[in-house]
Amino acid sequence: GGPRADAPSHRYYVVASWLQDVADSDRLRSLPFGRLVSIVRSSANHMGLLGHRAGLLVPYAQSEECERRVNAVTGKPTAVAPDENYVKTWQELRSLLSKLLAQQTDKMIEVSKIKTSFRASFRVELSETVFGHRSLSKLLADPSLGTGFELEIVQGSRNVLRLAEPVRHASADASRKAGGPTPTGASVSAPPPPKQLQ
């Protein structure tokens, strides 16, 4: 009745079982197996003692999580080969995102598909650690990206990015309807001069 070998939780069971076999502490050996699994899970998810690499649990210093954290601090790309191009500047990122969204019929795209789409459409890699982030969603929510995009959650869990709607100046529209002053840049025809009485 344990988890399947390809289930994410299986790795915790494997490490917990290994701990039981090699433990030289009576206290550790006496712990219930479920308690050991909980310790392993917390070490990986909360305590920063373990991490993941190629689907396996490894010491945190050797993990992908540690690599991403260090790369985010230093502004280096993650999982990008030396001969591959990658997005290097905010200006380039804004430009390519605008082009990508313009290609979509509904002007929106799931966040999970953005990296693949960059690779297919522009032959360039997108790595969030270049911009100081460890997740793509955090990168797309960064104010440095500008106001041309909107990050939304649809159907409860899907993150999508869309082109932002143009901002309408409601105060200017109301002013024109009320006959008030027109903002600079807008043009209106002047009313005809009043007729003089004979």
pLDDT at 50 over 50: yes
79, 81, 82, 83: which is closest to 67 by C-alpha?
79
Q: Are residues 144 and 90 in the same domain?
A: yes
Q: Is residue 120 part of a domain?
A: yes
Q: Are residues 58 and 81 in the same domain?
A: no
Give me the domain span that covers residue 42: 10-62
Q: Domain total for the chain?
A: 2
**CATH number of residue 84's parent domain:** 3.30.420
Q: What are phi and psi of 162, to 5 degrees?
A: -135, 160
Q: Does residue 35 sit within a domain?
A: yes
Phi-psi region of 115 (alpha: psi -120 to 50; beta: other; left: phi over 0): alpha
| 84 pLDDT more than 90 | yes
* Distance set, CA 143 to CA 70, 146, 170 (Å): 22, 6, 24
Whether residue 159 lies inside any domain: the answer is yes
At 93-142, the pLDDT tens digits run 999 999 999 999 889 999 999 999 999 999 999 999 999 999 999 999 99
